[in-house]
Amino acid sequence: MNGSVLIFGSTKNLREEKIVEIVNSEANKDFEKTKDLSEKADIKIVALLEDEKTIGISQTREGVKFLQERPFSYQKKFLVILDCEKLTIQAQNSLLKTLEEPPAYALILLSSKTQNSLLETVVSRCRMLPIRKPRGCAVVENSSSLEKILKMNLGKRLEFASEISKEEKETILELLECWIEEARDMILKRPRDENRLKNIKRIIEIKKDLENSNVNQRISMEALVISFSGTL
């Protein structure tokens, strides 16, 4: 496989699993996670930097420059761009020529929530690889389900909030999306249950706060689990 590939849809974790799968197949390696790909001579990862809201043109230019030299130890060079929905317009435009005519030894892998998050000129230069989200939010383990959390006492809820807050923001947002889905199913069973209505409203509020501001993840998740009303 050569050229430019846009991996979109589903969750961040599943998109990154596909990236690792492709790199392993093309390079005959056995990496497990995207972090295993970093600091390899023939692999460069471009991603959202800590405390930044966008990926700028300086980062994409580094990626383009990286591809100008031939592979050092692999047969191919891999440029992996994560969180592509965070690319600025200028950063996306800086990639166009390279996406359209990458070196023969290069494989460019882009990961984005949706293809609509990117300029059409970027999308048109890539092969599409959609990742489908598992039905019923299967990405959330049973131990992390809303049902399980509501059965916990306050101490256990706070322990869970402390642990989950150490994850990347994207992972927490995916969890909250699944909790919203679960909460809606609960409301359908008991549409007049005010506690269930309060729970889903609170989850949506916290999710919006995390998406639109730099609120502390631990404080937000702890406040959320404390605020849950009632049980199943």
CATH number at residue 115: 3.40.50.300
Query: Is 31 inside any structural domain?
Result: yes
What percent helix, strand, coil does the chain show, rounded to 5?
55, 10, 35
Query: Is 87 inside any structural domain?
Result: yes
Query: Is 135 inside any structural domain?
Result: no
Same domain? For 92 and 119 the reply is yes
* Residue 81: strand pairing partners: 46, 110
Query: Is 118 inside any structural domain?
Result: yes
Ranking 43-52, 77-86, 160-169 by mean pLDDT, the lowest is: 160-169
Domain boundary (130, 160, 185) is at 130
Query: Is 194 inside any structural domain?
Result: yes
Q: What is the mean pLDDT of residues 33-58?
A: 93
At residue 133, the pLDDT reads 65
CB neighbours of residue 210 within 10 Å? 20
Q: What is the mean pLDDT of residues 46-65?
A: 94
Residue 19 vs residue 166, higher pLDDT: 19
Q: What is the mean pLDDT of residues 122-145?
A: 76
Report d(CA 208, CA 202) in Å as an integer.
Answer: 10
3-state secondary structure of 106: strand
Domain boundary (103, 130, 157) is at 130
The pLDDT-based confidence of 189 (bands split at 50, 70, 90) is confident
* Residue 46: strand pairing partners: 81
Range of the domain at 7: 3-130
Report d(CA 173, CA 90) in Å as an integer.
Answer: 27
At residue 174, the pLDDT reads 83
Same domain? For 183 and 123 the reply is no
Same domain? For 148 and 106 the reply is no
Report d(CA 6, CA 214) in Å as an integer.
Answer: 28
Same domain? For 125 and 155 the reply is no
Same domain? For 160 and 105 the reply is no
pLDDT at 171 over 60: yes
**Which phi and psi (to 5°) does residue 107 adopt?**
-130, 120
Number of independent structural domains in the chain: 2
Report d(CA 16, CA 7) in Å as an integer.
Answer: 9
Instruction: Return the ∠ at Cα 212 (arms to 9 and 36), rounded to 5°.
Output: 50
Query: Is 137 inside any structural domain?
Result: no
Query: Is 115 inside any structural domain?
Result: yes
Query: Is 136 inside any structural domain?
Result: no
Percent of the chain predicted with pLDDT > 70: 94
Q: What is the mean pLDDT of residues 180-194?
A: 85
Same domain? For 28 and 113 the reply is yes
Report d(CA 124, CA 96) in Å as an integer.
Answer: 10
**Which phi and psi (to 5°) does residue 40 adopt?**
-95, 140
Same domain? For 39 and 81 the reply is yes
* Residue 45: strand pairing partners: 80
